[in-house]
Structure 1
Amino acid sequence: MEHITLSLPANRTLSGRALAGVVGSGDMEVLFTAAEGQTLTIDITTSLDNSDSRWKALFDRLNLISGLPAGQLVIHDFGATPGVARIRIEQVFEEVSHA
């Protein structure tokens, strides 16, 4: 198990909280809590060692596409593919943006 913490600049503000996925399904779970400020703090617990660069690349891509919201993102990953990871993260951001 590896624990990764990222702190990235945020350029949008949302409010509320959301959950997507279920880690017990062999997939991943993403919890997002919006906060005021200019930073998105990301705590990742993953079953894949040495995956820092994969996560950084994923968040760089998300930032280019839609920007990152301020808040706290907690990810419990059980080896999800990058595509599934992106979908789960986008799901929590979308759910909070419609709350």
Structure 2
Amino acid sequence: MEHITLSFPATRTVSGKALAGVVGSGDMEVLFTAAEGETLTIDITTSVDNSEQRWQALFGRLAALGSLPAGQMLIHDFGATPGVARIRIEQVFEEVSHA
């Protein structure tokens, strides 16, 4: 298991909490808690070793395509594909955007 912590500039604020996915499902879960500030902090626990560059690239693309909300994100990854990871992350962002 590998633990990765990333931080990205946040350009919007939201409120609430959101959960997408289930660890027991065999791919991943994402938990997001909105916070005041200008930073999105991501804590990732993954079964895929040496994957920090992949996570950096994924969040870099998300930041380039839209605005990231301020808050704390916890990701429990058990080998999800990048496509599944992006869907789960976008699901929690969408949920707190409508809270």
Question: For residue 73 of structure 1, what is the aligned residue in structure 2?
Answer: 73
Distance in structure 2 (CA, Å) of the matches to 1:67 and 1:58: 14
Q: Secondary structure at the match of 2:40?
A: strand
Distance in structure 1 (CA, Å) of the matches to 2:14 and 2:22: 23
By how many angstroms is 1:97 displaced? 0.4
Question: For residue 37 of structure 2, what is the aligned residue in structure 1?
Answer: 37
Structure 2 counterpart of 1:63, one-letter code: A
Q: Secondary structure at the match of 1:86?
A: helix
Correspondence 1:54-93 to 2 at 5 A: 54-93=54-93
Structure 2 residue runs of 5 or longer lacking an equivalent are none
Structure 2 counterpart of 1:85, one-letter code: A
Structure 2 counterpart of 1:42, one-letter code: I
Structure 1 counterpart of 2:24, one-letter code: G
Q: How many residues align?
A: 99
TM-score (norm 1): 0.98
Q: Percent identity of the aligned residues?
A: 83
By how many angstroms is 1:88 displaced? 0.1
Q: 4+ runs of 1 displaced by more than 3 Å? A: none
Distance in structure 2 (CA, Å) of the matches to 1:66 and 1:94: 12
TM-score (norm 2): 0.98
By how many angstroms is 1:67 displaced? 1.4
Structure 1 counterpart of 2:79, one-letter code: G
By how many angstroms is 1:83 displaced? 0.2
By how many angstroms is 1:66 displaced? 1.3
**Counterpart check, 1:23 vs 2:27:** no
Distance in structure 1 (CA, Å) of the matches to 2:56 and 2:67: 14
